[in-house]
Amino acid sequence: MKALALIIVWFATLAGFAQTNLIKGTVTSKGEPVPFANVLVEGTAHGTSTNEDGEFVLEQPAGKITLVISGIGYKTLRKEITSPTTSLQLELTENVAELEAVVVTGTMKEVTKMNSPIPVEVFAPSFFLKNPTPNIFEALSLVNGVQPQINCNVCNTGDIHINGLEGPYTMILIDGMPIVSSLATVYGLSGIPNSLVKRMEIVKGPASTLYGSEAVGGVINIITKEPGSVPKIKLDAFGTSVGEYNLDLASGIKVGKSSALFGVNYFNYNQKRDINQDNFTDVTLQNRISFFNKWSFYRPSGKNFSLAGRYVNENRWGGELQWTDAFRGSDQIYGESIYTNRAELIGNYQLNSNTPIFIDYSYNYHLQDSYYGVTKYYAQQHVAFTQLRMNKKLGNHELLAGIPIRYMHYDDNTIGTANSNGGNQPDVTFLPGIFVQDEMTVTSSFTTLAGLRYDRHNVHSNILTPRLSLKYSPNANNTLRLTGGNGYRVVNLFTEDHAALTGSRDVEIRNDLKPEQSWNLNLNYARNIILRDGFVNFDASLFYTYFTNKIVGDFLTDPNKIIYDNLDGYAISRGLTINTDMAFANGLKVISGVTWMDVFQVQGSEANEIKVPQLQAPKFSGTFTVSYTTPKSNVTFDLTGRVYGPMHLPVVANDFRPAMSPWFGLLNFQVSKSFGSNLEVYAGVKNLLNFIPKDPLLHPDDPFDRPGGKYFDANGAPRPDTNPNGYNFDTTYNYAQLQGAKMQLGVRWTIE
């Protein structure tokens, strides 16, 4: 009887399976199978994964269902199924914001992010659309470990801090070319429109082996869109409740087998707002326009080349509310007025159709015509760059070699370009070099990368910068990287600090400034966790950088001066960053990160060492982006923000303002709705908590520090009754933008 019962159960089971409908299909991307992709039935826990050939078999429940197909590095796909099928073909689209993004910054060649021996963070435009901004500078506020820092409360000069290191240590590249450097770092980042960006790659830590001077703290490489990928018309326009208006317009055309991209960005802000009632503008008023044109030429010989150009014109000012252009440079009404004209040329040419040998080239001209009160600052800069580079694969070695040449001509009306006789002597830099890099695949799981660069500086002579990286990947979901290297930075004095460009303090150079040197060590671990209904990417890095000859500005010895000199001691930047990226089939995505760091310098002899913390470098900071898209109505909700821990601030002697900033957070909320594939409307609130810093200016009612005025007697000495602490007008106390909560409304429209 027991045997008979087992036979009955067996046949009943077979009959049940015979009546089950099966869905069979293949998941591909660009014609290649996608292994281990998740295939789920929406609204249930029923699902499977594709095999190594991208194939899957899934039991189909009764009725109409929706399959949700997701994979690391691909956009989630939804497919409605109404009847059984055994030949389902599903095509996934790559998502460069996720794991398998192609990167070039770490090694100067295309490689997937997970296969790169150098840890590279990649951000697609879709990431920055969660908090729309008019320029790259503001957009970077959502990137963990990267801090856009406003350094002057009147002119709104700014720079990018990576892991606590000031702006001059960050190299900004456009398509791998050193376009935004030196003079342009002060305001140049504000002129790069988001509409041109294909992706953004960030390397934290020295990259001087490949990119030379200024790449000490890290590299931000802005990869522009390919002309052939841009639709006929793409428009993104928004306005805010405080009177900011931004327009991005791009258009792509094809001429034969070549293609072109035309783009224009216009930003205008013309509202004199004064939230804290100190009679000074809270944010600089700006009128900026930027034109961009990029051509990609296809040649039957395979020797393809590209050429791009950009022009930026900006007029910005900040100061007392009564200021107009008529007071530019006068001592009646205080204002800081900056006119910027900038032109750029970028391109590359492939010399050989078989071996990848390229000539990269760029040129930029930057003119800054400005007044800071009565102080005139007029500067011109020409930067020309060319580079011959070659990739060659030899067995398990992949060699990269290059011969870069950089020429810079810088001239201004300050002591920075004055000779010993008081005459004018422009600063000319000629910097030829050579670099070699060898990436060796030791085993399928272990890779090494060794590089060495030699530069011959016309002032500082011979400079060597080595780098060594080790990568161990026991499987596709775990990667460990150890990177060490040397960096150097050549002096560009009047971009070292925002305050050197203003009239609030005089500049003194104590000695001939020497190039800075740094040694860096970075340990990175990346882990990918595949879930049945999504995935989690985890990334953590320990970093340590040791500086010698660090250039420091002394703000404390004399309240009327900035005294520049090489540090008599050393400086250290160390810390930990952790990033997580989570996406689920239900439409929820969470990107978050935290950074802990300790950045300081040590002065004096070993017996009398003094530890001085780095200004505006919070020990703790964090970023987050939470997004949810409703599956049917296609409405997306985005909550983004950044949390800042206390940071040291540039106070003066006996300052009544706190030397440390408080804990604070800047939060943004946005709702966007897509109408088909060509139209999207979005609305939101920025600075949701309405956080506003206190007391950003000293003596705003006497910005010229007039002798015989309210705070100084006829001889210029501080009055004991009104100015017992000897305060001077100062604009450098800053830890957040002086702008409260504001509404934003925008539209995106595409014509394919």
Mean pLDDT by 10 residues, the chain (752 residues): 44 42 82 76 72 78 79 74 77 58 63 77 85 87 90 85 83 82 68 76 79 78 82 92 94 85 93 93 94 82 80 95 95 94 91 80 93 90 92 90 92 76 84 93 93 88 89 90 85 51 60 80 89 83 89 69 77 94 86 95 79 92 93 89 95 92 96 90 96 91 92 93 92 88 95 84
Q: For position 101, what pLDDT does the model report?
A: 55
Q: What are the phi and psi torsion angles at 12 (to 5°)?
A: -65, -40
Considering the entire predicted model, what is its pTM? 0.82
B/e letters for 206-230, b = 16+ CB within 10 Å, e = fewer, are: bbbbbbbbbbbbbbbbbbbbebeeb
Q: For position 301, what pLDDT does the model report?
A: 60
Contacts of 34 (CB under 8 A, 6+ apart): 27, 28, 50, 54, 71, 74, 92
Task: Count the neighbouring beta carbons within 10 Å of the beta carbon of residue 241.
Answer: 12
Residue 293 near residue 261 (C-beta atoms within 8 A): yes
The amino acid at 102: V
Q: Which domains does the chain have, with CATH numbers?
A: 2-91 (2.60.40.1120), 224-696+731-751 (2.40.170.20)
Residue 195 near residue 263 (C-beta atoms within 8 A): yes
DSSP state of 719: P
Q: For position 81, what pLDDT does the model report?
A: 82
Distance from C-alpha of 81 to C-alpha of 61, rounded to nearest angstrom: 10
Per DSSP, the residues of 328-396 read TT-SSS-EEEEEEEEEEEEEEEEEETTTTEEEEEEEEEEEEEEEETTEEEEEEEEEEEEEEEEEEEETT
Q: For position 687, what pLDDT does the model report?
A: 95
Q: What angle do CA 192, 195, 196 make, to 5 degrees?
A: 65
Task: Count the neighbouring beta carbons within 10 Å of the beta carbon of residue 26.
Answer: 17
Count CA atoms closer than 13 A to 292's CA, side-chain side: 25
